[in-house]
Structure 1
């Protein structure tokens, strides 16, 4: 087998803004594994808050060229690379290759339900309330909106979005911005707007700040839950986990994380980093097991791959066979 990997730059439609800053493009790393007759592809997006860059991800992947040539499978990969975007890209390339060799779709190989369209959240970037209201009004026909928050002034932001989209379901992502704030009070203030989920209210590693809070809106661990090793710390503090394959290091660990999380009574959210439809296709398969699906990473780009995953009325379509899986 042979391994190839490269960095690709894709422009964002406008700008994608969260409490930590704005992005006008995303660099993804694509891993390609070939056996002479079949080709498998996988995409990873560097997790910047872990210090990853597209260049470090590329180097990690290419460092596995000899192992791939020797026939490395997904099980061996889990021991050779740590969780993160590099293992994600390579793990998903191996899934894709396996599916093509077996002439069997990945969802069947993984024992998952046949994929059908899922409602996906559509992100409203953090901004002043007037801008967020206008953005919400432009997306008011979508069933589920996700608001990026920043701490100070979040009540006004959510109120503005609710005015702009009075009938949409709302989830919010604090991106750790509520550390040092009255988390219980912030949560109670948002309840009147019908918010149904709050992602990562406090900084990862400071999860004990949630001890004793009986939240009227469930909390989802994002930065605080990377893979199964984080579940014990999240249980009792969060009611849900946001599974992103760039965090888990691929579909293989994501499947195990979802299974063990559900066994502990945690709700499942499937999320993503910015990326193309090639990056959205593997996590899409987990959507049937999730309460919330947030896979708009490709919908936020100015352009996408051929055979892209498409959305109509807030429903994201399954990936085409020639895209992945």
Structure 2
């Protein structure tokens, strides 16, 4: 029996609001791709989060997925998708669905199929949304028992924000994420503020395509590429500018590409962060296979939601457990 592809849009409310330099939202809109095969209806599924920053919309992602219905029916593999579809959210959902289907059909865990070692419990960062210094200090105090906090910054006023977060969470390790909001005339003052606060990593301080300055200035804190890197094709452009990369399955276009990207980036000397968009446990589950290979893990999407899907990943504070077979893989 041929494979059948189905696409659905689902909405999950965010607990409060999620705010970064590019705006704020109160719900996560995700696209779920399901591939079914066989008389017993064995099903694999995957989730993605369309991201406007990369020219994606729910409609465009659904259209890209539905356009692959015939290829999937004809038996297209995960490796075939690398040529059939561009890197991005749509390919991620379909790649992860095929991974899940393959694991179920073979009776083997997805990590083994991917050539990885068994996933382990990981400590995830917990994200603090962009706000006023006062609101961010309060949020940091509430989350101060968490060992790793990721702080969203926004440009003007960032030294005050990061100092306020450090006051609120004096013992937590800190990552900051500027989401491309810093500028050449502010980056050194912002770096100095991060040094003073004991920040361990800075994500994407300058806009992608306008980050050549990073190769010319002192980097007292490691700099991590996010918007500047999607898949392996972008690694050459990072030379001398970045010390680490943030691998997100929605950018890379699936776990298949992400595994290859992780191996190649390590070979080039980059540190690794495994990150996510704001999605459910279904989106985090495939990324968990890479978590124990990373220096930083940022898979807190479900912690930011008012409700997750059931069954979901098991979180114990900031500890996140590998996915059970009834969720994915």
TM-score, structure 2 length as denominator? 0.97
CA RMSD for the aligned pairs?
Answer: 0.9
Distance 1:310 1:137 in 2: 24
Match of 2:33 among 14, 19, 31: 31
Match of 1:142 among 125, 146, 152: 146
Match of 2:127 in 1: 123
Distance 2:153 2:185 in 1: 13
SS at match of 2:183: coil
- Cα shift readout 1:47-92 (whole Å, capped 9, x = no counterpart): 2101211111011101100111111111111111100100000000
SS at match of 1:172: strand
Match of 1:96 in 2: 100
SS at match of 2:304: coil
Displaced runs of 4+ in structure 1, greater than 6 A?
none
Match of 1:9 in 2: 11
Q: Offset of 1:24 from its aligned partner?
A: 0.4
Q: Offset of 1:181 from its aligned partner?
A: 2.9
Give ranges in structure 2 of 5+ residues lacking alignment: none
Distance 1:64 1:124 in 2: 37
Distance 1:76 1:23 in 2: 35
Match of 1:309 in 2: 313
Give ranges in structure 1 of 5+ residues lacking alignment: none
Distance 2:211 2:139 in 1: 32
Match of 1:209 in 2: 213
- Cα shift readout 1:255-306 (whole Å, capped 9, x = no counterpart): 1111110111000000000110000001111011100000011110111111
SS at match of 1:279: helix
Contact 1:137/1:164 (CA < 8 Å) preserved in 2? yes
Contact 1:44/1:85 (CA < 8 Å) preserved in 2? yes
Asked whether 1:195 is paired with 2:195, we answer no
Distance 2:227 2:281 in 1: 23
Asked whether 1:165 is paired with 2:169, we answer yes
Match of 1:260 in 2: 264
Q: Offset of 1:31 from its aligned partner?
A: 0.5
SS at match of 1:14: strand
SS at match of 1:195: coil
- Cα shift readout 1:176-228 (whole Å, capped 9, x = no counterpart): 01124332332122112110000000000112121212211000000001111
TM-score, structure 1 length as denominator? 0.98
Distance 2:217 2:107 in 1: 50
Match of 2:55 in 1: 51
Give the count of matched residue pairs.
325
Match of 2:82 in 1: 78
Distance 2:179 2:254 in 1: 22
Asked whether 1:297 is paired with 2:301, we answer yes
Contact 2:162/2:193 (CA < 8 Å) preserved in 1? no
Contact 1:143/1:313 (CA < 8 Å) preserved in 2? no
Match of 1:319 in 2: 323
Match of 2:110 among 81, 106, 109: 106
Distance 2:61 2:185 in 1: 35
Contact 1:47/1:247 (CA < 8 Å) preserved in 2? no
Distance 2:43 2:159 in 1: 49
